[in-house]
Amino acid sequence: MPETAEAVTFEQLLELAAALVVPGQRRILGITGAPGAGKSQLAGLLVSSLPPGEATCVAMDGFHLSNEILTVRGLRHRKGAIETFDDGGYAALLHRVRRQQAGDAAIYAPLFRRDMEESIASALPVEADTPLVITEGNYLLQDGGAWPEARRAMDVTWYLDTDDELRRERLLDRHVAYGKTRQEAHAWTNGSDQENARLIAASAFRADRRFRVA
């Protein structure tokens, strides 16, 4: 398993993703990395750069537990940590997507809305004739709970490395953009986010490929 990241361009990653597209077959590509590594951006660019209908993205973030449940469990301040996700639901959906065949009805996945800080159920259709499903999120390579079961639904996993200073700057800007004060954003970036990043980095060796985008 990779100990260091391969330096690649986006074009090279696009070629690798395109090679997974086989009409009439379903493939699942998992992209993971620490918070702020650029997973969502990369997944979105891959989907939009491939020919229409060849790929879609089902993000792990759709399986955030609701704010109400997190508040009841005393985890609201930890939102985004591994224990604040429905890992079983995520694994079950990926296996449904994996089994989907031509002629089957669409499968509807949840979508996380950052502006609301909540997930919207059945917001993203996965059509049966879409050959490549990209899934991205923080905890795809974890070894506890239902995460290994989710991983078994994937054909290949990529771990995305990013310069740590750049990654933190992205997180800080994201938190501010979605309503936190600068002070709150600093505390979140250097607290819960950084704790999560250490956990995620410890799982990088389980990825099939490890990349740093040039």
pLDDT digits over 121-163, tens only?
Answer: 999 999 999 999 999 999 999 999 999 999 999 999 999 998 8
Please indicate, yes or no, if residue 146 is contained in any of the structural domains. yes
Region 91-117: what's the mean pLDDT? 95
How distant is the alpha carbon of residue 184 from its chain centre? Answer: 24
Please indicate, yes or no, if residue 136 is contained in any of the structural domains. yes
**Helices then strands (H, E): number in the chain?**
8, 8
Please indicate, yes or no, if residue 36 is contained in any of the structural domains. yes
Residue 165 has pLDDT above 90, yes or no: no
Q: Which residue has the higher pLDDT, 177 or 73?
A: 73
Residue 188 has pLDDT above 80, yes or no: no
Q: What is the pLDDT of residue 173?
A: 81
Strands 107-113 and 118-126, by their bridges, are: antiparallel
Please indicate, yes or no, if residue 1 is contained in any of the structural domains. no
Which structural domain range is residue 157 located in?
A: 6-213
Please indicate, yes or no, if residue 202 is contained in any of the structural domains. yes
**Residue 200's pLDDT band (boundaries 50, 70, 90)?**
very high
Please indicate, yes or no, if residue 194 is contained in any of the structural domains. yes
Please indicate, yes or no, if residue 154 is contained in any of the structural domains. yes
Residue 180 has pLDDT above 90, yes or no: no
Q: What is the CATH number of the domain that holds 157?
A: 3.40.50.300
Residues in Cβ contact with 29 at an 8 Å cutoff, skipping those fewer than 6 apart = 17, 20, 132, 133, 134, 135, 154, 155, 156, 157, 158
Region 101-122: what's the mean pLDDT? 94
Q: End-to-end distance of the chain based on CA atoms, in angstroms? A: 21
Query: How far is it, in rounded angstroms, from Cα 156 to Cα 154?
Result: 6
Q: 22-41, pLDDT tens digit by residue? A: 999 999 999 999 888 899 99
Q: What is the pLDDT of residue 55?
A: 98
Number of domains in the chain: 1
Region 160-177: what's the mean pLDDT? 83
Please indicate, yes or no, if residue 150 is contained in any of the structural domains. yes
Output the pTM of the full model.
Answer: 0.91
Residue 2 has pLDDT above 70, yes or no: no
In the three-class reduction of DSSP (H, G, I as helix; E, B as strand; rest coil), residue 54 is classed as: coil
